């Protein structure tokens, strides 16, 4: 069975869903092909700090009503060390804010909008392949419910994540990858308890890094730095809460049973270029950042902004300059976000022996950050998001 669309989108994560929604707003049709079930996609636990630019894109897409009703606007974050805790005031330093709104909820909003009127999502597609990406009619082939289908497209957007099929479609001869794998992981716990602080707390401690975050006024998300070879079974809830109190130095932590626990490795990763013929990569298909800087979802959104603008220019004005420049344009912002995420990660985590020179440099950097308005402005400018 053969079908036809203007833009074929591989992946129904936030990048693919947001791209499809924005294209629809501008009169461009698309079909989304997703390997997983709707339930799996909607139930995935992911990050939840949105830059102001990302919120603006969701407003443009017409899916920000619940976000504005339930999202938590944060004017700053706190940084904790063994010596002190200090606050970075985003609004006062750079005049911007961030919004805490779980990626799970954002995904559900985008799926609901898509299914209401925008076009199809083909769930549980197997054996997905991209054909003829350098031709004028690239195609997606896949299997659904035992039927082999082919989707002829003008363009294909690879929004299928780090483990998807889109990036490997680029020939190895033109593909370059840059990677840093960190020697630790994040143990995350989600619990239906009120947050210990109205804003995020990033803590650098001799035991290791910790982060106090939230998804709502009644749901908290915490993270602890841990060794990569540790098992989740070694971390009962009581041990996690005990360690969070030590590292965060917070007596306000409310304990409760976990509703989700996991250990995730951290990496920095970029694959270039982000386009090949009429195939364009967006989001985790092209780059990964450690979550310390809260940039993963926001980078996907900026990719989508650039790609949508380029596709709309093609269809509305027959101008392909933005399409030709997409990879360079997106990567210019990607590398800045990679730098910030790497800097935050190396600044706050336990990477060096307590008496080493490198550890003393971390301490000096944190002390400088605590006392310097210029240093705090740099952090604030990057955290709230550089302009698109």
Residue in 24, 287, 295, 314 annotated catalytic:
295
Catalytic annotation present for 295: yes
Distance CA 273, CA 281 (A): 9
**Of 101, 276, 306, 383, which one is the catalytic site residue?**
383
39 given a catalytic annotation? no
Catalytic residue among 14, 24, 74, 223: 74
291 noted as active-site residue: yes
- Alpha-carbon distance 46 to 102, whole Å? 7
Catalytic one among 101, 182, 202, 223?
Answer: 202
Annotated catalytic residue 383: yes
24 a catalytic residue: no
Q: Which of 133, 138, 195, 291 is catalytic?
A: 291
Catalytic residues, which ones? 74, 202, 291, 295, 383
């Amino acid at each position: 069975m053969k079908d036809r669309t203007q833009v074929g989108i591989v992946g129904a994560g936030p990048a693919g869903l947001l791209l499809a929604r924005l294209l629809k707003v501008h009169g461009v049709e698309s079909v989304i092909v997703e390997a997983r079930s709707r339930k799996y996609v909607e139930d995935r636990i992911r990050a939840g700090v949105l830059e102001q630019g990302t919120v603006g894109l969701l407003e443009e897409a017409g899916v920000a009503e619940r976000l504005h009703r339930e999202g938590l606007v944060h004017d700053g974050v706190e940084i904790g060390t063994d010596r002190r805790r200090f606050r970075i005031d985003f609004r006062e330093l750079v005049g911007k804010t961030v919004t805490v709104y779980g990626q799970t909820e954002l995904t559900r909003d985008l799926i609901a909008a898509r299914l209401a009127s925008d076009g199809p999502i083909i769930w549980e597609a197997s054996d997905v392949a991209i054909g003829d990406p350098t031709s004028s009619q690239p195609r997606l082939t896949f299997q659904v419910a035992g039927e082999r289908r082919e989707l002829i497209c003008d363009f294909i957007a690879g929004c299928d994540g780090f483990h998807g099929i889109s990036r490997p479609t680029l020939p190895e001869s033109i593909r370059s990858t840059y990677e840093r794998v960190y020697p630790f992981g994040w143990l995350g716990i989600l619990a239906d308890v009120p947050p210990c602080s109205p804003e995020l707390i990033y803590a650098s401690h001799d035991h290791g890094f910790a982060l106090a975050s939230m998804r709502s006024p009644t749901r908290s998300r915490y993270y602890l730095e841990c060794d990569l070879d540790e098992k989740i079974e070694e971390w009962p809830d009581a041990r996690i809460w005990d360690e969070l109190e030590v590292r965060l130095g917070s007596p306000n932590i409310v304990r409760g049973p976990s509703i989700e626990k996991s250990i995730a490795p951290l990496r920095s990763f970029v694959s270039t270029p982000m386009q090949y013929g009429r195939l364009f990569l967006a989001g985790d298909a092209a780059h990964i950042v450690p979550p310390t800087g809260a940039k993963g979802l926001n980078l996907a959104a900026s990719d989508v902004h650039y790609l949508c603008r380029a596709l709309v220019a093609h269809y509305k004005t027959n101008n392909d300059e933005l399409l030709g420049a997409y990879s360079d344009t997106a990567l210019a912002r990607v590398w800045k976000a990679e730098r910030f995420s790497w800097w935050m990660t190396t600044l706050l985590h336990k990477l060096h022996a307590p008496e080493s020179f490198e550890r003393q440099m971390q301490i000096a950097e944190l002390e400088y950050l605590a006392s310097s308005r210029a240093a705090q402005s740099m952090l604030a400018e990057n955290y709230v998001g550089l302009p698109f």
